[in-house]
Amino acid sequence: MQLLRLVSSIVILTACSAAYAQAPAKPAATSDAQKAFDLMKTLAGNWQGPVTTDNAAWSTDKPMSIAMHVASHGNALVHEINTGGPEVTVFYVDNDRLTLVHYCDFGNRPLMVAGPSPDGKTVEFDLVSYSGSNAIGHVTQGVFTVVDAGHHFEDWTFMLPGDKPVHAHIDLKRVP
């Protein structure tokens, strides 16, 4: 009788263990960084629009062209702004932070991190560090505001030597 109870207990425990192992895992909660990255990935495509700045020396009357594409099996977003040649920024989730590295035409690489989106449509990146040359300056902030599937704004702050900021606003529309 004791042998029957022991065998029955082992069978029941084995069945419970097998059932537990096959139960679907709870989906992990989506982090703020992942939500912001998912929003950024909706911007994949080609964009064009006018640029306005608060520094006449940095102004242009030519529209800015930007191409974005999702890369690395959905783990990176590549942003190429045409400044006479493609200037690349790469966005990715690093642990629980949405980060970007901007590979600047001026020979530096600012690393920025986004905070949580206050409205679900705006992603704001702030400078953490940069490497490379600072002879001309470096980017210190980038703000992306999604208006709808065919329209978004990019606001960039560039710090000149002597801590003189230049702000640029790009009003972008999706193009084929």
| pLDDT > 90: percent of the chain | 73
58 CB neighbour count, 10 Å cutoff: 13
pLDDT at residue 2, rounded to an integer? 53
148 part of a folded domain: yes
pLDDT digits (tens, 9 = 90+) for 9-67: 444 444 444 444 554 554 567 899 999 999 999 999 999 999 999 988 888 888 999 99
Q: What is the mean pLDDT of the chain?
A: 87
Confidence (pLDDT) at 59 = 81
pTM score above 0.85: no
Q: How far apart are CA 4 and CA 6, in angstroms?
A: 5
Mean pLDDT within 118-142 = 95
Residue range of the domain that includes 62: 32-175
Residue 23 lies inside a defined structural domain of this protein: no
Is residue 51 a part of any domain in this protein?
yes
In the prediction, which pLDDT does 25 show? 53
Six-digit token pair at 93? 């989730």
CA 17 vs CA 11, 77, 112: distances in Å: 10, 41, 45
CATH of residue 67: 2.40.128.20
- What is the number of domains present in the chain? 1
In-domain check, residue 27:
no
117: in domain: yes
Q: Are strands 151-160 and 97-103 parallel, antiparallel or unpaired?
A: unpaired
The answer as to whether 143 is a domain residue is: yes
What secondary structure does DSSP assign to 39-99, as a single string?
A: HHHTT-EEEEE-EEES-GGG--SSPEEEEEEEEGGGTEEEEEEESSSEEEEEEEEETTEEE
- For residue 158, being part of any structural domain is answered with yes
105 pLDDT above the threshold of 70: yes
User: What digits encode the pLDDT tens for the residues 143-157?
Assistant: 999 999 999 999 999
